[in-house]
Structure 1
């Protein structure tokens, strides 16, 4: 669900603010690394489908000197999930295929009107 404006009352659950590049869990800003945010953002943008590790590497590490192996993606996913706490199950593993973002009633994705996803 993509809202056109953030909810002032949004204190429970996860708010993913794409324009500010912030993720809040129950009102507290999560200390995500740059890559963790990029990973979450990519999964949210492609929420209707499963994203393979190779695609994640190709899109998030394109042009990087040190291209990670597929297990590095697993480590980033594990760290991201631990930071998402009780809503970690919104980022799910699809066995043998990759990862997928699943909507949850407590997860709100906010993008500024000029920001299109």
Structure 2
């Protein structure tokens, strides 16, 4: 897979391990041990995906994620400490697409990188789009083939992950889709557990962008203990 991956982690052993596994998959890897070095690099070079540790010596990973999101939409995967649930939620809320908990299995990391890149490449395809469905619901219009979404005739700026979640819910309008179904449909891997809150946080982010609320939803409804639906 021809893609440029940025790694930012001040733990040399972990950064080096990630680099080895990704290079074995034919990725171009750019590795930095500090946030400021990484920021200088991305100002002049194109990147397809970033892997950011939270604990960095100069700027923390949250702030680095926020700075990247001010200009760029490529996928961001956060590296979080074991059982730090707040870190996971904070990273996703700031615009990260996924997180990996340390210590991690290298093959899981590779699988998550590949899943994010597949979705990002598809979302940003430059070729002329084939005819595809236009999904409509209460002022929400999604042109799937053009990867465009309007809400009340105004552009709704979504990350590839948010677009994918919203598309699935629109395609199955009226039916409940569980978090596990959404996770497998988007990431297409087996690394799901009931404690995984990735989908929950992305749903929250979607609602914020759409001006929706969990208590009185106009678009995405939570069916407690089951999943989510648009009706």
Fold shared, TM-score > 0.5 on shorter chain: yes
1:32-111 → structure 2 map (5 Å cutoff): 32-63=158-189, 70-85=196-211, 89-102=218-231
- How far does residue 44 in structure 1 lie from its aligned partner after superposition? 0.9
Contiguous gaps of at least 5 residues in structure 1: 7-11, 103-117
SS at match of 1:70: coil
Runs of 4+ off more than 2 Å: 66-70, 86-89
Larger RCO of the pair (alpha carbons < 8 Å, separation 6+): 1
- Structure 2 regions of 5+ residues with no counterpart? 1-132
Larger radius of gyration: 2
Whether the 8 Å CA contact 1:24–1:30 is kept in 2: the answer is yes
TM-score w.r.t. length of structure 1: 0.66
Q: CA RMSD in A?
A: 2.8
Shift of 1:26: 2.5
Count how many residue pairs are aligned between Structure 1 and Structure 2. 93
The structure with the greater share of residues assigned to helix is 2
Deviation at 1:20, TM superposition (A): 1.4
Question: Secondary structure in 1 aligned to 2:167?
Answer: helix
Deviates more, 1:86-95 or 1:45-54: 86-95
